Structure 1
């Protein structure tokens, strides 16, 4: 089956590195990239050539014009005016690269910063393995856009060495079953994700078990009061509430178990037993002692 890749977007002066990568693959798909890299003319025709050799020479000569046409058609009119004077696709490509790609010094600084970001990446305890992998790939893709080679194996090593302790058992299992130097990034992420899901399911089941146990305890506790009379339940509840409640220290006895107006030692209250002020009969110390019968 014939394959005709879609052309890259029109370059209008922004995101040059992305456009250049797409344009390069497009030219490679049409067997025109070597013409852009090497600004050479095919050798002149010799005598006594076969029809196939003449046809090949004609195709090699036409490649230069085809590559030039591809470049001119994938830039805006404003950008086209900057390469219209170029005689070869290599000159046009180099012209665009010189004008729109970052200066080498700036590019190198960007690469240094991105590599530093990559080295400092660590998985957070609150992150999932998918979220961490997305953060790593975002940094790596920016590095690759600047033209720096970055192998998938280096990414795998980064993931393995920066995972939290909870993933150690899975890493050890993978080391026992296969060579981690040959494992693919997607395979590693999927294996870790599967373990993450199993752990989440176990935690959910444990939480449900704890909830059900507490529900049973609550049900058992409430059933113990079913045989009691309503007034008794209310009285017991009132005692519990009173025992828990605290008041300001009483001005008369300094205790915090009652309000001041209910204190047994108020100065305006009269004892029924000794008829003295300052206490009630219940706490009276002057009560006549009961006589012992002989």
Structure 2
């Protein structure tokens, strides 16, 4: 552990659902303890040479300890049911790969999942009763699921989706953005907040108008 005293809490427990999220969290957790290289390395632990010097003995012992720490991190981050799948693994790398093989799915399965998610993304449209934030949240769920499967998904693409599928009542606001500044120079959150502010003003004006009719 680093000398700064940083000590992350216990890792998320994987129960068989949400593997793609768990694996990202676990990678960060292992990195926090300088243990990710133990999982990442393809090299197996070499046996100690004959007649080793003290430095070689210490290095070998440290490498064994690191593997035990990494294995412990993996074991405490899975439920008992998942643990039975990896308890026979002799190294943390074997345990990691075992979980990956079982829960990440085959390349063909992931490709089909990506196709379905891309289709979902293209078919998204804002409902009349939705706020722009609710709609953007729906878009982000699909976009982030695509990212979790390893595909790059830019913010620009999400912004283009939002702009191209908004109802007509937002056309004036989008046009004013295009006239005053390049849409590529603003962030998604800036765009959503500006559109949400317009919604709030419209709702307030409508409420005042309704009150004035009584």
When normalised by structure 2's length, the TM-score is 0.80
Given candidates 66, 69, 72, the residue that maps to 1:69 is: 72
Assess if the C-alpha contact under 8 Å between 1:121 and 1:136 holds in 2.
yes
> What displacement does 1:152 show?
2.3
**Residues 185 and 55 of structure 1, relative CA distance in 2, 3 Å threshold:** farther
Q: Is the 8 A contact 1:8 1:19 kept in 2?
A: no
Q: Distance in 2 between matches of 1:140 and 1:80?
A: 31
Task: Find the structure with the greater CA-based Rg.
Answer: 1
SS at match of 2:71: helix
Structure with the larger RCO, 1 or 2 (CA within 8 Å, 6+ apart): 2
Per the alignment, residue 261 of structure 1 pairs with none
Q: Aligned equivalents of 1:193 and 1:178: distance in 2?
A: 18
Q: 1:56: Cα distance to partner?
A: 7.6
Provide the C-alpha distance between the structure 2 equivalents of 1:208 and 1:12, rounded to a whole number of angstroms: 53
CA distance in 1, matches of 2:182, 2:69: 47
Name the one with the larger helix percent: 2
The alpha-carbon deviation at position 178 of structure 1 amounts to 3.5
What pairs up with 1:208-227 in 2 under 5 angstroms?
Answer: 208-209=211-212, 211-212=213-214
**Helix, strand or coil for the counterpart of 1:13?**
coil
Tell me if the contact between 1:41 and 1:61 (Cα under 8 Å) persists in the aligned partners: no
Whether contact under 8 Å (1:17, 1:145) holds in the other structure is yes
- Identify the match of residue 172 of structure 2 among 162, 169, 173: 169
4+ runs of 1 displaced by more than 6 Å?
Answer: 42-45, 53-58
Conservation of the 8 A alpha-carbon contact between 1:153 and 1:182: no
Change (3 A) 1:22 1:192: same
> 3-state SS of the aligned residue for 1:144?
helix
User: Shift in Å at residue 55 of structure 1?
Assistant: 7.6
State the distance in 1 between where 2:161 and 2:179 align.
19
Give me the whole-angstrom Cα distance separating, in 2, the residues matched to 1:171 and 1:3: 46
- Uncovered stretches (5+) of structure 2, i.e. residues with no partner: none
Matches within 5 A, 1:143-154: 143-154=146-157
> Could you tell me how far 1:42 is from its partner in structure 2?
7.7
Extract unaligned runs of 5+ from structure 1. Answer: 213-294
| TM, length-normalised to structure 1 | 0.61
How many residues are aligned here?
206
2:32 maps to 29
Once the two structures are TM-superposed, the CA of residue 124 in structure 1 deviates from its matched residue by 2.4
